[in-house]
Chains A and B, each alone.
Chain A
Amino acid sequence: DAGVTQSPTHLIKTRGQQVTLRCSPKSGHDTVSWYQQALGQGPQFIFQYYEEEERQRGNFPDRFSGHQFPNYSSELNVNALLLGDSALYLCASSPRLAGSYEQYFGPGTRLTVT
């Protein structure tokens, strides 16, 4: 059973560009959350998708947007990249209706903005 997978592993972009990161949740999970982790900091919650809709959102500007597909996979889009967007982007999944008390994280995508 594959866990949470993310692609790509690493990415280098230039300021002002746009980026799309992808996540496939663990089998049987229908809820996907995205987190941003800057160097030396804990992960910060960006938003969560369930039933193809954004259900919760952290304190991130609307340059950060997402999508969830019918197969529960998800994308994170960041527009107009800033140097400060350089971070590890983590995807986590969980089964919402199963009374989950833990989230399963993927290995992350390391984004570098130059």
Chain B
Amino acid sequence: LAKTTQPISMDSYEGQEVNITCSHNNIATNDYITWYQQFPSQGPRFIIQGYKTKVTNEVASLFIPADRKSSTLSLPRVSLSDTAVYYCLVGDMGPGGGADGLTFGKGTHLIIQP
């Protein structure tokens, strides 16, 4: 699985847009980029997944440049409840592959202030 690098922590304020960037220089052709969110004392929750360009759902957007060596998770107009740890995962986790064992790093601890 491709190694990922993301900031250990980030701070922002309610109502702001937050962008968390993940580096994955040795991403393979079959690899997808997946983000999970984890609140304290809860299990991680799937947020979004993409392969290239841009993906958007009701929670977030994922921007992936053409070389796919990095990706950016964008959270629009964050609230206090978005305070959580965000994990970037890279691997062959597309449709059918997502059931395999996942490799999590330490994630980015996002703190939203009033």
Residue ID in chain B nearest A92 by CB atoms: B43
Tell me the number of A-to-B contacts counted with CB atoms below 8 Å: 75
The distance in angstroms between the C-alpha atoms of A48 and B94, with both chains bound, is: 18
Chain A contacts of B87 at CB under 8 A?
Answer: 42
Q: Which of B41, B49, B98, B102 lies in contact with A108, CB distance below 8 A? A: B41
Q: Which residue of B34, B42, B95 contacts A107 across the interface (Cβ within 8 Å)?
A: B42
Closest chain-A Cβ to B70's Cβ sits at a distance in Å of 19
Main secondary structure of the interface of B (DSSP, over half): loop
Residues of B contacting A44 in the complex (Cβ-Cβ under 8 angstroms): 104
**Max chain A C-beta neighbours (<10 A), residue from B94, B98, B107:** B98
Say yes or no: is B93 at the interface (Cβ < 8 Å to chain A). yes
Asked if B69 lies at the interface with its beta carbon under 8 angstroms from chain A, I say no
Contact with A along B35-71 (1 / 0, CB 8 A): 0000001111110010000000000000000000000
| 6 smallest beta-carbon distances between A and B, as pairs | A105-B43, A42-B104, A101-B98, A45-B101, A102-B46, A99-B95
Question: 6 A-B pairs, CB-CB below 8 angstroms?
Answer: A45-B103, A47-B101, A94-B98, A101-B93, A105-B42, A108-B42
